[in-house]
Structure 1
Amino acid sequence: MYEDGEGVSVLAGMPAGPELAAALACVDRPALNGFELVEVAKAITRQIAHDQAELLATVAEIAYCPLGDETSPAQRTDHPTEYAADEVRLALTLTRRAADTLMGDAYTLVEYLPAVHEAMRSGHIDLARARVLYEETSALPEAVARDMVDLILPAAAALTTGQLRVRLRRLVIEADPDAAAVRQREALTQRRIEHGLDPDGTATLAGRHLPPERAATAAARIDALAAAAKQAGDSRTLDELRADLYLDILNGIPTDTTGGGGGVELVVPLATLTGLSAQPGQIKGWGSVLAEIAAKLADQQRDQPWRYTVTDDSGAVVGHGPLRKRPPAGLAALVRARDRTCRAPGCRTPAHRADLDHTIAWQDGGPTTPANLGVLCRHCHGYKHSEGVTLVQPTPGTFTWTTRLGHTYTTRPEPP
C-alpha cells in the first residue's frame, strides 16, 4: 500500500512517466506483502526504461549542439558535433568507451530505430532488449530493420534477451538468405582464438566466429565424452568434465573416447533438405543457421538416427517419429519435439538435456499423455515441486505457472 493506504494495484495500469514516478515515491515497502512487492518491482522496471529513454533522447540532442555556454540560445547543428561524446563523458564521469557506447545507443535508438526508443519510453521494453533489437538487425537495410522491429516488438517484453536473439536471428536469415550467407562468409574470415586471465586468477580460452556446424559437432563430442565419464563414476561435475576434456584434447593428452562422437540435434524443413527452400534450420541449443549449413550438417550426420516432425499450419506439433535405425521413442519423443526447450518462463535448456515431467504427478492420478507431460530442466523441475509453486497445462504444450508470491506466467513452445 501507499502511505495514504491506497493499494499498489493501480501501478499496473499506470503508464511510465512523471505520474508513475510520483506514485512510486509514495510506496511504503515495509507495509507490502510479497505479491505487492513484485508489482512494485515491475513498475520500477518500466519507469527505469522510461528514464533511460529520456536520457538517450537528451544525449542525442547534445550531439547536435554547437559551441556555447549557459547563455547560448537553443540552437542545433545539421550534423553531430565531433566531440559530443566527450561532453557527455566529462559530465557523467564516464570512461571514453562508456561515453561512446551511450552516444551510440542514443543515435541508434532515437534516430535509426525510433519505434524501439518509443517502446522504451513507454516502459514496454528495457535497454537490454533494445540493444538486442539493434544488434541483431544492424546488418539489414534501414527499412527492412524497421519492418522487422515492428513485427517483433509486441512480443519482445515477454522474451528474455536470449530468446529475443534466437527469434531475431531466424527472422534475419528468412528476410534475405543470400545476404545472410554473405555476412557469414565475411565473418568467417575473422575467426580466431581469444585467451586471457580472468579477475579470479583463472583463464579463458575461446574460439570466435567459428563455422557453426563444426562448433556444434565439437561441443556435442565433448558432451558425449563427459557424459560417458560421468556414467563411469567420475566425481567431477559435467561442466568440470567438459572443461577438462576440452583442454586435454587440445593439449594432446590421451582421452577415453568410448563415449562416441556425439550427435547434433538438427531441425530442418524437408524443403530445405531437398533444395526447394532457403528456410533456415535450427541446431538445438544453438539457434538458427543458414539453409546451406543445415543441409551440410544433415549430410554429415546421414548415418545418425533420423526422425520426422509434422506440424499444422500454426506450427503446433501433431506428429513425430523415427525414420530409421532406432525403434519409435513414442510419446516421450513427441513431447520433446513439441516443447523443444524447458517450459519454465525464460529457460532455454534444450529438451534433450531436460527431464520429462508429469504436470499432475503420476502418483496423484496424472495420466501419461501429451496433455499431462512437459519438458523441464533439472533446476526448473525442482522449482516446480518447491513450496507454493503450481503448474497447470490448460492445453497440450501450454503451461501456466503460479509463483510462490502468487504471480502467474504462461509459456508456449516456439514454432519449429
Structure 2
Amino acid sequence: MGGLTRLGRVFEEGVAGKLVQLPPGAELAAVLDRIDLAALNGFEVVEVVKAISRQIAHYQAALLAAAWESAFCPPGDETSPPERTDRPEEFAADEVRFALALTRRAADTLMGTACQLVERLPAAHAALRSGRIDLARARVLDEETAALPPPLARQLVDLVLPAAGGWTTGQLRARLRKLVIAADPEAAAQRQREALTRRRIEHGLDQDGTATLAGCHLPPERAAAAAARIDALARAAKRSGDTRSLDELRADLFLEILNGHHAATAPAPRVGGVELVVPFATLAGLGAHPGEIKGWGPVLAEIAAKVADQQRDRSWRFTVVDGRGAVMAHGPLRRRPAAGLAAFVQARDRTCRAPGCRVPAGRSDLDHTVAWESGGSTTPANLGVLCRHCHGYKHSKGVRLSQPTPGTFVWRTRLGHTYTVGPAPP
C-alpha cells in the first residue's frame, strides 16, 4: 500500500501508544515519515496530528536557538573558525532576514522571540523543545510577562507550564494575566495608568471594502459598560421585532450613537449589566486580588470595585466556592426572585464547558447532559452550560458527553478521544 498497511504491525504498542511514548526528535521524525495516513483509523490519525504538532514545536525551539546563536557569531565566511562574541551583533536580525527572505519586521520579531525565550524564559523554551507547548503558547508566556523582572517572570511561567499545554492561548493568557496582577498589584496599576495615556481611536479600510473603527487602551470599566449598554439596546430592539441579527444591531447602534442619530424605537434599559466575578475581600477594600469582568478577562482590584460601584443599585447575586473554585451555592443578595436553578448552573460553569471554549455562560445554552426525553433530570448534576456551536457539536454524530460529578464534564469525540473539563477556576 506504499507504506505501512497498519502501524500496529510494526509497533507492538500500536500507533497511539508508540507516538505518545516518543519524545520529539530524530526517532519521532523517522516514524512520522513512514506513516501511511490512509491505513489508519480516525483515532490514530488524530494521534498523528498531535505527534506532528509536538515535532513542529521541537523544530521551532531549535530554530529560535539557532537564530539566537547566530547573533553571537562574528563576521566571517564558510572558512571561519567557530568563534563567538560576548554580546549579540547589532545587525544580527538582518542575517536571518536575508537567509529566510523575511521582512525586516518579521526578522526582528523572530530574533526578539528567540532572545526572550532562550535568555529570559529558558523553561518556556525547554517546554517548546520538548513539545509540551507550541510556539503560540510560548509567545503568550513571553508577552504576558514582558513587563516583569526576569526572576518574577520565570516564577510565574513555572506556575503555569505544567498545565499550559492543555489550555488554549486565550485560557493561558487570562490565567497568566491574573497571576501577573496578583503578583504585584501596584506595578500592574502603574502599567495601566501609563497605558491609558496612549488611549486613541483607530480606523481604516478593510480588504473587503468595509471599514474598522475601534478604541484602544480604554478604561476597562467604561469600555465594558459601553459594550453592555449597546448590547442591551440591541436586545431591546430585537425583542421589538427588528429583523437584523444581534451583531448587525450592535454595529449599527454603535455608529448611530457616535453620529448622534440614535432614536430608540423600543423601551430600552437604563444601563446594560456588566457581569463581575470578584473576591469579597476585594469588594470590601480589604484586599487587592484581581477581579474578572465576564467576557473580558482579569482586571485590577480597583477596576473591579469601580464596576461594582457602577451597579450598586442593581440586583446582586452571591456565589460561594470551595478551595478548588467549585461553586457550592449561588443566589440573590438583595432581592429574592424565583428559584434560580439556571442562574446557579451559570454561576458554577461560568463559560461554555467544551474544551478550550470561553464563551460566557450568559451567552450560552443550558443543556441537559443526559437528554430530558431520555430520562435526564433537570438538576445541577445533569445541567451544563454550552455555547450554541458546542451545543450543536455535542449532538453531532459520534460525540458523547457525560457529567460524572456536578460541574465536571467528560467529552468523547467522534474519533474516540476523551477530554475532561473540570470545574471553572475561581
Q: Is the pair's TM-score, using the shorter chain for normalization, greater than 0.5?
A: yes
Partner of residue 286 from structure 1, selected from 296, 318, 331: 296
Verify: 1:108 aligned to 2:106, yes or no. Answer: no
Q: What SS does the aligned partner of 2:419 have?
A: strand
For 2:339 and 2:184, how far apart are their aligned partners in 1?
Answer: 36
The Cα shift of 1:314 comes to 2.0
Native 8 Å contact 1:305 1:326 kept in 2: no
The Cα shift of 1:402 comes to 0.8
For 1:264 and 1:296, how far apart are their aligned partners in 2?
Answer: 11
Verify: 1:396 aligned to 2:397, yes or no. Answer: no
2:202 corresponds in structure 1 to: 194
The Cα shift of 1:219 comes to 0.5
Query: Identical aligned pairs, as a percentage?
Result: 73
Native 8 Å contact 1:322 1:328 kept in 2: no
For 1:92 and 1:415, how far apart are their aligned partners in 2?
Answer: 42
Verify: 1:36 aligned to 2:44, yes or no. Answer: yes
Partner of residue 223 from structure 2, selected from 215, 223, 236: 215
Extract unaligned runs of 5+ from structure 1: none
1:258 corresponds in structure 2 to: 267
Q: What SS does the aligned partner of 1:12 have?
A: helix
The Cα shift of 1:231 comes to 1.8
For 1:355 and 1:318, how far apart are their aligned partners in 2?
Answer: 21
For 1:313 and 1:375, how far apart are their aligned partners in 2?
Answer: 22
For 2:190 and 2:262, how far apart are their aligned partners in 1?
Answer: 39
For 1:129 and 1:271, how far apart are their aligned partners in 2?
Answer: 32
1:88 corresponds in structure 2 to: 96
The Cα shift of 1:4 comes to 6.4
Native 8 Å contact 1:17 1:50 kept in 2: yes
- What RMSD over aligned residues (CA atoms) do the two structures have, in Å? 1.2
The amino acid of 2:113's aligned partner reads: D
The alpha-carbon distance between structure 1 residues 328 and 313, as it changes in their structure 2 partners (threshold 3 A), is farther
Residues paired across the two proteins, number: 416
CA deviation vs aligned residue, 1:207-263 (integer Å, no higher than 9, x gap): 110000000000001111111122222222111111111111111112316231211
Q: What SS does the aligned partner of 1:201 have?
A: coil
Q: Under a length normalisation based on structure 1, what TM-score does the superposition of the two structures give?
A: 0.98
Q: What SS does the aligned partner of 2:119 have?
A: helix
1:184 corresponds in structure 2 to: 192
CA deviation vs aligned residue, 1:337-361 (integer Å, no higher than 9, x gap): 1100000111111001111111001
Native 8 Å contact 1:341 1:375 kept in 2: yes
The amino acid of 2:4's aligned partner reads: E
2:7 corresponds in structure 1 to: 6
CA deviation vs aligned residue, 1:14-55 (integer Å, no higher than 9, x gap): 101111111100010111121111111110000000000000
For 2:164 and 2:268, how far apart are their aligned partners in 1?
Answer: 40
Native 8 Å contact 1:280 1:294 kept in 2: yes
1:330 corresponds in structure 2 to: 340
The amino acid of 1:37's aligned partner reads: V
2:12 corresponds in structure 1 to: none
Native 8 Å contact 2:401 2:412 kept in 1: yes
Native 8 Å contact 1:355 1:376 kept in 2: yes
Deviates more, 1:71-80 or 1:6-15: 6-15
Q: Which residues in structure 2 correspond to 1:53-72 (within 5 Å)?
A: 53-72=61-80
Q: What SS does the aligned partner of 2:214 have?
A: strand
2:308 corresponds in structure 1 to: 298
For 1:217 and 1:329, how far apart are their aligned partners in 2?
Answer: 28
For 2:146 and 2:201, how far apart are their aligned partners in 1?
Answer: 25
For 2:132 and 2:425, how far apart are their aligned partners in 1?
Answer: 24
The amino acid of 1:307's aligned partner reads: R
Q: What SS does the aligned partner of 1:40 have?
A: helix
Extract unaligned runs of 5+ from structure 2: 9-14
1:272 corresponds in structure 2 to: 282
For 1:129 and 1:269, how far apart are their aligned partners in 2?
Answer: 28
The Cα shift of 1:311 comes to 1.2
